[in-house]
Amino acid sequence: MGVPLSVQRQLTTLWKLEESSGSNFPGSDHHPTDRKNWISGLNPEKIHLNQIVWPGTHNSATNQIGFFITRPFGECQSRSVYEQLVLGTRLLDVRVNENRNVCHGPLVTYGVDVVINDVKKFISETESEIIVLEVRTEFGHSDPPEFENYLKQQLGEYLIHQDE
């Protein structure tokens, strides 16, 4: 007995999507054995930062958000920021509210200090890794007071200036 026609159609559709997805790009054959230090394995003379497809996570710091009942609706990641970085994530999407707490919509978790400490810990353990950290105010919330200055104080020595 063969594969049902409906399954064959679905498989064909998936193969076509995979072929057209752009999964063959410079560096797509790079499979580091040490995910914690994968950037160090890239040859900076052959590849520029803007040629890297940055592995990232959405709502990166939501591993402890909400309560048992609401967690499935707000938790996008089950691992801490540090664990994600060790596994190879290099782009973090962190949403905060006016109290400098990580949030996802109305759900709130720990303070952004936890994220900053995880980033600092990871950077202190590596030599050439780069993290793209996007910290922004969650929609519907006000910016935390003096937040930009706070981030500069906490991460200043690690920051790379963003050009206009």
Domain-wise residue ranges, the chain: 29-158
What pTM, to 2 d.p., does this model score?
0.78
What's the confidence (pLDDT) of residue 22? 64
Q: Using alpha carbons, list the distances in angstroms from residue 149 to 33, 115, 164.
A: 38, 16, 19
CATH class of the domain comprising 29-158: alpha beta
Name the residue with higher pLDDT: 150 or 1: 150
Q: In 3D, which of 67, 61, 63, 26 has the Cα closest to residue 133?
A: 61
What's the confidence (pLDDT) of residue 76? 87
Given a cut of 80, whether residue 162 has pLDDT beyond it is no
Q: How far apart are CA 101 and CA 137, in angstroms?
A: 10
At residue 162, what are phi and psi to the nearest 5 degrees? -90, 125
Q: Are strands 132-137 and 101-104 parallel, antiparallel or unpaired?
A: unpaired
